[in-house]
Structures are given as structure tokens and as C-alpha cells.
Chains A and B, each alone.
Chain A
Amino acid sequence: MIDQQPLAGIGLRARHVGELLARRPAVPWVEVHAENFMADARALASLEAVRCEYPVSLHGVGLSLGSAGPLDRHHLDRLRRLADIVEPCLVSEHLSWSTSGGAYLNHLLPLPYTLETLGVVAAHVEEVQECLGRRILVENPSSYLRFRHSAIPEAEFFAEITRRTGCGLLCDVNNAYVSAWNVGLDAEAYLDALPAAAIGEMHLAGHVANDADGQTILIDDHGSPVAAPVWRLFERALERFGSRPTLIEWDTDIPELDVLLGEARTAETLLAAAARKDGRARAA
């Protein structure tokens, strides 16, 4: 539906579910972490209530698309069963790895961007898409290091993954900003190099500046409002990609629901401006 205005949703965490269902605020869609509903019957029951009122996007953090070893089929089956119940509007995962030798490290760990990694990630994305019977979006990570032998720039790596698998991209604007700062890259040039047509969703979140041995490192902690330079980068992304469904994430020090809704309204104002511009450009 090309003419449908993409709108800003919110990341839904357990503490807001009751209030969301009681108040039914006019938020166009919500996104949840898939893993929180796979082994918790009560959480799943509450999600089933939410999906009757709002479109739900499933955001996975545990598939470990970049693991050198095979995908965890048990986990993938759980994701498929959850998707069968929720009928999500979007399904997304990360360009990262978390599992090695049977240990799950609960972090989106960095990958060297090499031809070997490209083969691994593309095969895993295809396996997931085949199992779920749908296209997934893959999100750019927040990086705190890069590997010396990374031969392919991350944006090019993404372009090749989308070309090989047909998957879409989830462009996390905060991650792009944080990564560029932490490993000395240019965030705007990074966005410019991403395959615009493949962007299916954008994320916005807060970060925190930490001191590491006298150097400032930005930590993607999702624990504060979206920072001013990230809003500016978002505007730049909208110019480049056009309007896309956009999500406000907030996962630590979670504030009142209204604070998230306020952030979503700010994003929506920018999305609407971008959509008007798109319309004018098409009319011209």
C-alpha cells in the first residue's frame, strides 16, 4: 500500500502492556522482542490480547544469523510458532552473532565483514525466510570495535545480503550514529551507502556517553530520549530513503508510557514532513 502513511510505533515492554490495553492510545503499531514470549505462557497470553488491538512486529535478538555454526533449529521453530500465533506485520533480526559452542552470550556481537561471513549470513537469512515463509528485515548493529581483517564496508555488506537473499533492512539510526562515533566512521556516508529500496523499517533510541580510558564511547543502552544528533541523522535518512515505518525503542530505565508516545509523535511529525515532500516530488 504505497499511499499508506508509515507511522511511528513504540517498542512494547512488559510494564506497559496493562496500561496500553486499558487506555488504547492511538499508536499505529508496536514491536516486541520475540524471545520474551517463547518460554513464558502468561507473557504470550498478554501478547495475544495486544495483537487483537494493534499490529505487532516481532523483533528477534536470539537467532544469531552470523554464527559460524548452524542456526538453532529449536529456536527457529519457536519463532515460527510465535509468528503463526501473532501474525506479525514485520519480522526482524540483527547482523550479529550471539552463539558459539553451545553458549548464548546475550549480546549482538560484532562480525568481521568478509566473503566467508557473507556466505554464512546469507545462508542463515535464507533458512529463516524459508522457515517463516516470509521476508525478514536485518538490522545494522551498534559497534564497539571492528576487526582488522574486515574487508567489506558494512553498508556494502548489507547491499550484498539483500541482493543474495531478498531480505529487507532495518536501519537503526541510533546504531548508525553510535557505531560511526565508536569506530571512527561517517554516519551520513554510511546511510548514503545503504540500499535505500531495501529499507523496511527504522529504529530510534537513546544512547549514553561513557568514558573508556579517557576516550568517549557511546553505549546503545536504549535508556533515554533520542539524542538531538540522532534526530538530525533521522531527517537525513528520511531525505535519502523516504518515509518508512519507524519505531521508538526504550529498554532500560523505562519511563511512563506517555514519554514513549511523545517520542513517537516527534518521529511522526518528521515522517509526515518527509511524506509530503515525497508527494510533491512525485507530483512534480
Chain B
Amino acid sequence: MLALPELQQSFTAGLLGGENTALLDLIEGDGLDARARLGIYRHHVLTTLTAVLDAVYPVACALVDRRFFGYAADAFIRRHPPAGPCLGEYGADFPEFLAEFPPCAHLPYLPDVARLEWAVHLAATTPPAAALDREGLRAVDPGRMADVTFTLEPSLSHLTSPWPVEKIWRAHQAEGKDLDVDMTGGSVWLEVRATGDAVTVRSIESGTYALRDALGRGMSLGEAVEIALGSHPTLDVEAEIRSTLEDNIFSHFTVLAREET
């Protein structure tokens, strides 16, 4: 017999991995092989978690066909089981897994399509945040504006891809069935967010993306402007900052403390 902690470790390994003789010896056969009994539990764990991934990643699933998706999901679940019981939060690592999964190597756009689907899922399930304190922001000393950092509204994600992932995604939505996807169309820069009860996926300019993405990563306005100008020297910074605030993409701001001299 095993003590409970060891039994549960052994059971977990037996569900997610291979044969485990010590565990099988603990199970009463009752007329059926212990392996078959353990297999009933394994089957439930793998099929229900595959269904969770399928619900979040329907386009990735459609791009590879259901059987291959099940194969990839099985490998993912065994390597990255959920960390907690709220399965709405499960599967964030799946795009990275697909990027490293050799059988998907011939579909280089697949991980980016999956990243977009995770962003859509996040936008659909994240509670709306309070609006940015605009009065407070207007009251910041203009000389300190470069030291302001922002927090993105929590439903919002930025992502970029060398592939036309937005069009691929739209072609798999009910309203996009007739869409032609030009795979040679070049890079896309996307902003995904909740708007009311819907999720909006929209394409933005690369310069706009550079500024917003840097701010979203927690850089100060001064640093973000520097980065955006570095890659887009002709960017109209003032107009970009104005449109960024008009689009309500932030929920909070902080003025970084300056070191006293």
C-alpha cells in the first residue's frame, strides 16, 4: 500500500504517462484488468480537456482536422495539465506548444492563429475594468508625462504575425465563409478586446502597434515613444498618443517616482 500523497502522485503519473506497476498493484480487478479500469479515468481526463481546448481553439482545430487536433491536444495535456479547476483559464500555453510541436512544423501560421484565438477567448471572458481616470491624467504635470506608465484594459491583447491570421480567423467565422485569404499579404498588427458583449478584432498600423504594445508591456510613455520612433521615425507621436487615449485601451496609470537628487 502507498500513503495518500504517493498514491496520488502515482495515479497522476499513471493517468498522464505510461505504465505504472506499483499503482496497478493497488487496484482491485473485480473481473476487469486494472489497466482497463485506470484507462476509464484517463479517457475521461483526456477527452474532456481536449473538448476544452477545442472550444477555445476551433479555428486551429479546423485548420488541421479534428483527428490531428486530438493528437496534438493529447500530447499538450499530458505535458501541460491544467494548474487549477477553472477550465476557462486552461490552454494559454497551447499556441507556444504548437510552435514547438514538430508534427505542426509545416503549418507556420498555426501558432499565430492559436494566439489570436486565445486573445479572443480572453476578451470574451474577462470582466470589464473601470475606465481610466482622465481627470487625474490631465492633472499630471506636463513635465512628468514621460514618466507615466499605463495598465492595459484587461480584456485587451496586442499581437502581430507575419501571416494573415485575422483573415484566416474571419474566414472561419459564420459571417466570413466566402473570404479569400491571401497568404502572401504580409504582416498584420492586431488589437483584440471586448466591446460590450462582443469581441472586436481589428487591424492597426505597425507604428500604432509599436507604441501601444510598448505601453502595454509596462514601459513609460517616454520609453514607449522612443521605441516606436526607433522603428517608425516618421510616426506622428502626438496624434498617436491622442488616438490611443481616445480608444480607451487603458484602465489605470501611474506616475513613476523620480529618484531624488
Q: How many whole Å from A69's CB to the nearest CB in chain B?
A: 7
Chain A residues close to B by CB (< 8 Å)? 35-36, 38-44, 61-64, 67-69, 72, 74-75, 78, 97-107, 109-112, 114, 116-117, 120, 144-149, 182-184, 212-213, 215, 217, 219
Q: Are B30 and A106 in contact (CB under 8 A)?
A: no
Docked pose: A160 CA to B72 CA in angstroms: 44
Q: Are A72 and B85 in contact (CB under 8 A)?
A: yes
Within 8 A of A (CB), among B22-48: 25-28, 30-34, 36-41, 44-45, 48
Instruction: Choose among B4, B33, B84, B127 the residue that contacts A62 (Cβ–Cβ < 8 A).
Output: B84
How many of chain B's residues have a CB under 8 angstroms from any CB in A?
A: 46
Q: Is B7 an interface residue (CB 8 A)?
A: yes
Q: Are B86 and A35 in contact (CB under 8 A)?
A: yes
- Least CB separation from A104: chain B residue: B82
Q: Are A69 and B86 in contact (CB under 8 A)?
A: no
**Which 7 A-B residue pairs are closest in the complex by CB-CB distance?**
A62-B85, A41-B127, A145-B37, A68-B5, A149-B1, A100-B8, A103-B81
Q: How many whole Å from A213's CB to the nearest CB in chain B?
A: 5
Since A35-B86, A183-B30 are in contact, a sample of 8 more A-B pairs with Cβ atoms closer than 8 Å, ordered by chain A residue number, is A39-B88, A61-B85, A100-B5, A104-B84, A105-B16, A144-B41, A213-B33, A215-B32
Q: Are A104 and B81 in contact (CB under 8 A)?
A: yes
Chain B residues near A40 (CB-CB < 8 A): 88, 125
Q: Are A106 and B125 in contact (CB under 8 A)?
A: no
Chain B residues near A215 (CB-CB < 8 A): 31-32
Q: Are A217 and B11 in contact (CB under 8 A)?
A: no
Instruction: Choose among A69, A78, A145 the residue that contacts B5 (Cβ–Cβ < 8 A).
Output: A69
Q: Are B197 and A42 in contact (CB under 8 A)?
A: yes
Q: Are A112 and B31 in contact (CB under 8 A)?
A: no
Q: Are B85 and A219 in contact (CB under 8 A)?
A: no
